[in-house]
Structure 1
Amino acid sequence: MTGPTVPMATEPEPAAGWAPTRALGRAVLLAGLLLVAGVLLGRVDLIVLAAPLALGTAYALRRRPTALPQVWVTQDAGGPLVEGGDVTAAVSVGNPDTVDYDLVVVRSRVSPWLRIVRAGFARNDGVEDVPPSTTAATDATAPAHTGRSVADRPFVTSVPTGAVVDLELAGNALRWGRHPVGPAGARVATAGGLLVSRAVITEPVRVRVYPRTEPFEAVEAMPRAAGLVGAHHSRRPGEGGELAGVRRFGPGDRLRRIDWRVSLRARQLHVAATLSDRDAEVVVLLDVLAEAGRSGGVSGAASVLDTTVRATAAIAEHYLHRGDRVSLLEYGPAARRLRPAAGRRQYLTVLEWLLDVRVHPSSHEPYDQVFGPQLLSSDALVVVLTPLLDERSAQMLARLARAGRFVVAVDTLPTDLPSPKDRGWAEVAYRLWRLDRDVMIGQLREHGVPVVRWAGAGSLDLVLRDVARLATAPRVGGR
């Protein structure tokens, strides 16, 4: 990975940002002492000893640097990066000066969720320059946020005039989100190590890591379809691909629907009746009021936020692939929302939107702020991803059910949530909290809110079947 060509400086300027090193001070002091001692004592040998030091120092300082090094961070844009994928970045150091940089020390910070397993220098002429001290081993099985990364150390190289040297970082992404590579800094020594520059710091680059889509497929009908262009089989007759039966030909029936075998046998025209194919609007509501569990990355344990984001990506991909409209809402003080739309562009927008999902603990009741007027369609299916750790979440589900919405609650609390290690009251309190949470889930089901645990493919099939049956059932009105 190479950066752009660095232009060479043409006019010398004052060496701003450069300072003498201790080596320069020692050389000047020693040469001066020898010269003074030789003159005062009349010792020619002392003057002869001081001459090489003075001449060497003067020769090293004959060309002083006039420009500071240039530092920037780049990422290899090889396509969308998903959890577990390979990530490649580079910290580039350019020399715009008229003198060579004898020694360059480069150091960069890297997000703990980017496991860097290989790091080394590569010049812009393609020649590898990896000193043995810069190649460190790392445990590929250890989590990225524990232990020391390969990139968490200084790297040393040299940069000729007008050249660029890249510190290439290669590894893999362990978790979704926007992870920084940087800030990166470099310090340069030149003139034989007699002058050193101040540290040049560059801003970090955010690497976008999209959530891994868990397998999910729901084959059951939607509760109530809103349009006539989707792929869901409704229970209403109309134009579609699912056969509902054969009936007599009537006014308005199309000729291409005539079933000639039945018509010849019955000696009357009969047509094939079908069920209409309709699209649906799916609203995925993310409960961001609380977090639980510890994230272990793509191959480790999943926290509430991990399960919420990955399940949202899977649900959105499934329904958008079927031609439905999908919108996203955050149940929290920020009340972020993504407007409903369909197609691949909406799926890419969903993935980008999910990168900024964060937990926002707050004592504020966000119901009226999230569910403003005309934000939810009356026919939309609302899939709520919630750990049910906050009483406000259960109250929100109950209010949506009482308002006549088609609500499905997906439990995102980790099944392997550890109990407190302390014995005594802590363990008793944990068991009481579990019992209270089970009672709350039972009360939600009594209010008509199905609660199902997220388990990938087929997680919502049984629930959607029951919701669709309730939506199409006749309602009995009182007199």
Structure 2
Amino acid sequence: MSGEPTPGSATRPKTTPAPAPTVWRPSQRAVRLLTAAICALVPAVAFGAWWCVPLAAVPLLMLTAHPASHPKRVRAEVEVPERRLFEGDVLTATIRLGADGAAGWTRQEYLPPRSRDDHDFGGAPTPSGVRLESLELTRGVITVKLLIPRWGRWSLGAVAIDVYDTAGLRLTSLHADLGEVEAFPVPAPDDTTLAPVRFPDRFGEHSARTPGEGVEFIQVRPYVFGDRQRRINWPATTRRRELQVNTFEAERAAEAVVVVDALSDLPQPPALDNPRPRSTLDTAVRGAAGLAQAYLTAHDRIGLVTLSGRVQWLTPGSGTAHLYRIAQTVMDLRKDFTYETGGLSRLPTRVLPRGALVYIFSPLLDPGVVEAISELADRGHPLVVIDVLAHEPAPTSSAGARPDHLDALALRLWRLDRQAVRFVLGELGVPVVSWDGLEPLDLALAPLQQAPLAGRVR
């Protein structure tokens, strides 16, 4: 999924509607001057201190001596060149201020999108999906640079703009909404594509164990009626004094389906050399993107199933465009750190072709996921479970307190529960590999390349 986002993602300038006519109100500067004048006139009228009248003349002269002009209509045009980018990219939005007359200076303030408190992140407010880098005003053009550190569909927030008249005594306010943006996940480095025992009857680049059209030599056999003449092995024919032909392995395309478990999302320890935020869902999505890119590069077919509050899927396909369809499906998992939770329905059958290799990225924390894995194993699919939970839970003791025997007992029970889950999956014949998202996915899948994966015999 490297390279630039899909073309056609540029949007037309969006015009923020302004009231007609524009409502002007006194500015803080005018209110302060008027307050100073009143404070000087009150003692003069109430107590006869007429020497205070000259003190009120100064702010009154400043209010009346500088005639200010202001336009009747003020507008703000928002232009965001790209609505699709990759996590870690910087988005530049432009706001052009326009008016039908002379106006003074402006004041702008960035309003970030609302964030919510998430108990899964330790009770602290969740980190924002958008980070302000800079906000500059140059000759009526406001340039906003925003950093998108994480993948997902994010609201960009808005910019509050105060436009003053030429004297700075009256102002009007505008609200420029920046809209939404889609940040694609950066695929994890991966060049490994595992091969199943049984391939579908579709031409590809993998050598199957069955004879057919291909380039991998198997053996020499006697000639039968219908064999091609160019496959005759003349040295073997001369030795045996009867026609012998070469047999090759058939070349087939593999089919794979990636299952992403979004039923639980836990934060992961930050990486020293990687500034991107990390969680179990981040690791799963980036690994799924890297795996999809590896299969599509090998001209294979790959599909996607996401397990959240509702099951969403994408039927297996091939080509570069299919990679962006996978990214669009993943976008539905996260929108401004909102998640759908609920029951897990049965996995669809039509998106899981017979004999397709199924990868499951999961922290193995939800019992429904283990049931889904058992269901897939009963269907006879070759399975690979990639455990993305790479750290043990920290003790919940108070700050500065040492872990006591209860914390050690809870940690031991947690480890036993994890071992029980792995034992159940091992009894089903499902290999489980651990991957923390920091090292390449190839290293985690390398032990499984020694032999093709075979599902359970039904």
TM-score normalised by the chain length of structure 2: 0.76
Q: Measure, in 1, the Cα distance between the counterparts of 2:449 and 2:455.
A: 10
Structure 1 residues 150 and 211, CA gap change in structure 2 (3 angstroms):
closer
1:104 matched to which residue of 2? 107
2:3 matched to which residue of 1? none
Deviation at 1:342, TM superposition (A): 1.0
1:332 matched to which residue of 2? 308
Percent of residue pairs bearing the same amino acid type: 27
Structure 1 residues 284 and 150, CA gap change in structure 2 (3 angstroms):
closer
Deviation at 1:381, TM superposition (A): 1.4
Q: Does 1:189 align with 2:139?
A: no
Cα deviation, 1:267-318, whole Å, max 9, x if unaligned, reads 4332221111111221111112212234748536732101110110111111
Aligned partner of 1:382: which letter? V
Deviation at 1:390, TM superposition (A): 1.7
2:119 matched to which residue of 1? none
Q: Does 1:378 align with 2:354?
A: yes
Cα deviation, 1:361-400, whole Å, max 9, x if unaligned, reads 7452x242xx245442222112111111122222221222
Decide whether the 8 Å contact of 2:259 with 2:306 is kept in 1: yes
Decide whether the 8 Å contact of 1:227 with 1:280 is kept in 2: no
| SS at 2:220 equivalent | strand
Residue in structure 2 matching 1:57, options 29, 48, 64: 64
Q: Measure, in 2, the Cα distance between the counterparts of 1:372 and 1:71.
A: 46
| SS at 1:95 equivalent | strand
Q: Does 1:313 align with 2:313?
A: no
Residue in structure 2 matching 1:68, options 74, 77, 98: 74
Residue in structure 2 matching 1:24, options 30, 34, 37: 30
| SS at 1:352 equivalent | helix
1:5-404 → structure 2 map (5 Å cutoff)? 16-24=22-30, 54=61, 57=64, 59-61=66-68, 63-72=69-78, 74-75=80-81, 81-84=85-88, 86-109=89-112, 145=127, 151=133, 157=137, 159=139, 164-169=140-145, 173-198=148-173, 200-218=174-192, 220-294=194-268, 296=270, 298-299=274-275, 302-358=278-334, 360=339, 362=341, 364=343, 366-368=344-346, 371-404=347-380
Aligned partner of 1:410: which letter? I
Aligned partner of 2:199: which letter? A
1:443 matched to which residue of 2? 424
Decide whether the 8 Å contact of 2:108 with 2:159 is kept in 1: no
Decide whether the 8 Å contact of 1:64 with 1:191 is kept in 2: yes
Q: Measure, in 2, the Cα distance between the counterparts of 1:65 and 1:265.
A: 101
Structure 1 residues 192 and 276, CA gap change in structure 2 (3 angstroms):
same
Decide whether the 8 Å contact of 2:74 with 2:97 is kept in 1: no
Decide whether the 8 Å contact of 1:243 with 1:272 is kept in 2: yes
Q: Measure, in 2, the Cα distance between the counterparts of 1:111 and 1:215.
A: 33
Q: Measure, in 2, the Cα distance between the counterparts of 1:458 and 1:27.
A: 71
Structure 1 residues 194 and 382, CA gap change in structure 2 (3 angstroms):
same
Q: Which moved more, 1:455-464 or 1:398-407?
A: 455-464
Please tell me the root mean square deviation across aligned C-alpha atoms, in Å: 3.9
1:118 matched to which residue of 2? none
Structure 1 residues 106 and 52, CA gap change in structure 2 (3 angstroms):
closer
Deviation at 1:352, TM superposition (A): 2.5
Deviation at 1:14, TM superposition (A): 7.5
| SS at 1:92 equivalent | strand
Cα deviation, 1:427-451, whole Å, max 9, x if unaligned, reads 3112211112112211211121221
Deviation at 1:29, TM superposition (A): 8.1
Decide whether the 8 Å contact of 2:93 with 2:144 is kept in 1: yes
Deviation at 1:244, TM superposition (A): 1.1
TM-score normalised by the chain length of structure 1: 0.73
Aligned partner of 2:256: which letter? V
Cα deviation, 1:43-91, whole Å, max 9, x if unaligned, reads 9xx89x9699559736423x332113415252457xx63334x413134
Q: Measure, in 1, the Cα distance between the counterparts of 2:406 and 2:196.
A: 46
Q: Measure, in 2, the Cα distance between the counterparts of 1:458 and 1:340.
A: 25
Aligned partner of 2:423: which letter? G
Aligned partner of 2:417: which letter? D
1:126 matched to which residue of 2? none
Q: Measure, in 2, the Cα distance between the counterparts of 1:460 and 1:444.
A: 17
Cα deviation, 1:185-223, whole Å, max 9, x if unaligned, reads 21111131110113x222233333222222223355323
Structure 1 residues 306 and 29, CA gap change in structure 2 (3 angstroms):
closer
Cα deviation, 1:80-139, whole Å, max 9, x if unaligned, reads 63334x413134141223112323334343799xxxxxxxxxxxxxxxxxxxxxxxxxxx
| SS at 1:389 equivalent | coil
Structure 2 unaligned blocks of 5 or more? 1-11, 116-125, 398-402
Aligned partner of 1:353: which letter? T
Q: Measure, in 1, the Cα distance between the counterparts of 2:161 and 2:429.
A: 62
1:119 matched to which residue of 2? none
